[in-house]
Amino acid sequence: MFKVEFPQGKKQVAKDMYLEYNPSFANQFNKNGNEIQKFLDKTVSNALMGYVSFRTGVQSKSIKLATVLGSGIVEIGVPYAENQAYSKKIRKRVGKRGTQPFERMRSDKKDSILRQASAYSKRLNDG
């Protein structure tokens, strides 16, 4: 969670020139930062769902249930997910799904996710 604070009042920067702080700027900046983090968490979790192992769909569904939007952490909420994701014994892959889902998703979708987050940030700050 981001939090930015600015001192209140005026500050003289040169003779007859003052810098005046806008008290609503910090609140708006913090609000927009939190909204962008929620958007980023949702985008990453949606992209990750296509990369986790899928036999019954429990891992994919657990991402939505275990992830708290805005926390900056995307979780796969099943106890065996780490074993399946990073086991040296499991090598079977079906399409995109298989071992090391986050690393593969990041290498495939990083640029797209960053572009989407940048566009969302611009929409928030312009509007």
Pairing of strands 17-20, 10-14: antiparallel
Query: What does the pLDDT average to over 85-111?
Result: 77
Q: Are 51 and 30 in contact (CB under 8 A)?
A: no
Which residues constitute the domain of residue 40? 10-126
Residue 71 lies in a domain: yes
Residue 35 lies in a domain: yes
Residue 101 lies in a domain: yes
Query: What does the pLDDT average to over 72-92?
Result: 76
Nearest to 33 by CA among 106, 127, 120: 120
Residue 65 lies in a domain: yes
Residue 85 lies in a domain: yes
The domain tally of the chain equals: 1
Residue 74 lies in a domain: yes
Residue 76 lies in a domain: yes
Record the pTM.
Answer: 0.71
- Identify the pLDDT of residue 42: 93
Residue 72 lies in a domain: yes
Query: What does the pLDDT average to over 26-40?
Result: 85
